[in-house]
Structure 1
């Protein structure tokens, strides 16, 4: 059986650099993707075996026409540091009333956390505009070019934006400490299931090698935050359960063998 898999991500995983040094390790054909919609389309078409993405995407993708067997099979970041960055005249979340917000997708992903922050600040959904602008690199460039008023940025883009004179308005992690980072997502009916499972095992070995205290298991608290945000906003997925979003059976097989 081939030990090659195709993966799409926004940025490479640090753990992958460790696994690539091991003889016989899974060979990753990786591609940087411009947006989560590109990830969805590639998974549906069978062009990739797995993607590294915002865990909330599973909730949205499972409600689109087509296959509905998307699951988070591992969590590779406890959290993804996200800063809401805006133009100099946007100094608070409440100041985003009437703003044009640059997002990856309008109905899934990190945008749901942003919409929850706006809701809690009293800015309802008719009080701003969401404009798809792609992944973090694309959103950063669009914000600098003045094509929007604010967006969520990770590092190093948030710091670079501040150095360029933009305002750091708020932090997703400060607002929601349990907010989960990116996960590995695949279709559970995909024929590469076993190969992805072996890759997860390699990532878990690498995690133990560097004594990373964070498990690859998605946290119950993080998944609960994703569901709670959708319930708050009255969006589909607000009644989902943990098993609707997560399937750790591939990872658990390895963990049982190595107890």
Structure 2
């Protein structure tokens, strides 16, 4: 019994010694930790944490693009402009044409003005002549019906028809002379165009006009004879041919 109590006391003493040594070791560790902690400044308490600066990337400056062939070149203000290259002064005419335009022939201007005036009269009188020719043909047809188709043969329209024929013939001659005598300031080679076709139709109308004038005079002179009917019929046919030629000439020129 004594030995067991001694053993128990020995174990209790060893346990106390072990606990005391462990507490001493723990106190030493806490002291070491307190000594390792850095001193904190009171001014820095509460200040935001400053992050370390990141290394900045070095960016190379942009290189100027090489000018392409199609890109417009800009001339510097201090450079003198090229002679005749960038100048805004230009002539619409070539040098030879400009010199010709500067030296205008007064006679040429007169001929051009005279031709313009004569052709305007030619055009205006031409329309009047065409209208007169239509009236002459209508009255002539009515007179033909009265004289040769049982209309009474009173010849009451003969004077009107004759007056219209004389006036239309005078207009026709005036229109033709204005067209023929108009000066030609420039030499022009022959070519098939509307003017040429117009001249051809008017030439046919001239032949028809002369023919119907002659036939009309002959038919009036043979009044009461058998040949009067034949001459009057030929006069009528030539009148319609002349009217058709004049109408075609006006149509080809203006329409």
Shorter-normalised TM range: under 0.3
Bigger relative contact order (CA 8 A; separation at least 6): 1
* TM-score, structure 1 as length reference: 0.20
Computing the radius of gyration from Cα coordinates, the structure with the larger value is 2
* TM-score, structure 2 as length reference: 0.20
User: Quick check: which one's strand share is greater?
Assistant: 1
